[in-house]
Copies of this chain bind each other. A is one copy, B any other.
């Protein structure tokens, strides 16, 4: 066990910014990071523009213990992440011989064209991420971990990467739901609970359903005893409420 490391995600993704694609990588990475005790502290989505990618990589790798990028490592003209990482680290972008040889053997020399050769071209010092799913690698360089954007491939790469990230105290989460409860009525009581458990993060999230709404109270932290105690208090707070049925209107 080590202290909780910090992390950021950089999504290189015109397809997210255009609204064409629903990102699901953040939730996957966030959930896995929490389980191994890393704190995800920022996410950015930037377009496929070199200066924007380079600047974001350099800001985020300086600010957090680990940076995970997704997207832009395929063979087409819009896949520019790998070159940009090399530029961000100010190292040459060059043939990675083991990857080059493996791809050439796997695909056959006649299919290992210029586009595919770009996938075997990595920033100097990059270490490929082991994955069973594709011969074209993601890679780590320094504290930056470069993964595919396609969720299935990203997940395979993250799984390959995970053992090397180190285990911190897992960040646990407990939730209690108050059907019909209004946030504005429990706010003071919830604030008091937060003050009694400063080592936890308490969040309050209203929800709305056709059948009626309510509030989810979520406690998050590494101290399981405190989590159990805080959630018990939150349950009492909810039980103390005089519930009025919610009819359509947000329960402020």
Which A residues lie at the B interface, using CB under 8 A?
11, 14-24, 26-34, 40-48, 52, 74-79, 107, 111, 113-116, 119, 133-136, 149-150, 152-153, 171, 173, 175, 183-188, 190-191, 194, 201-208, 218, 220, 249-250, 252
Interchain residue pairs with CB less than 8 A apart (11):
A17-B43, A19-B31, A19-B32, A20-B218, A21-B205, A44-B45, A74-B204, A76-B204, A77-B190, A116-B184, A134-B249
Known: A15-B203, A15-B218, A77-B187. A45 touches B46 (CB 8 A): no
Q: How far is the CB of A112 from chain B (nearest CB, A)?
A: 9
Residues of B within 8 A of A116 (CB): 184, 187, 252
Residues of B within 8 A of A77 (CB): 187, 190-191, 194, 202, 204
Residues of B within 8 A of A40 (CB): 17-19
On whether the beta carbons of B203 and A78 are closer than 8 Å, the reply is yes
Residues of B within 8 A of A74 (CB): 183, 204, 206, 252
In the complex formed, the residue of B with least CB distance to A41 is: B47
Cα–Cα distance between A190 and B183 once the two chains are bound (Å): 53
Residues of B within 8 A of A14 (CB): 201, 203, 220
On whether the beta carbons of A42 and B44 are closer than 8 Å, the reply is yes
Q: Which of B42, B78, B185, B252 contacts A136 (CB 8 A)?
A: B252
On whether the beta carbons of B19 and A27 are closer than 8 Å, the reply is yes
On whether the beta carbons of B218 and A113 are closer than 8 Å, the reply is no
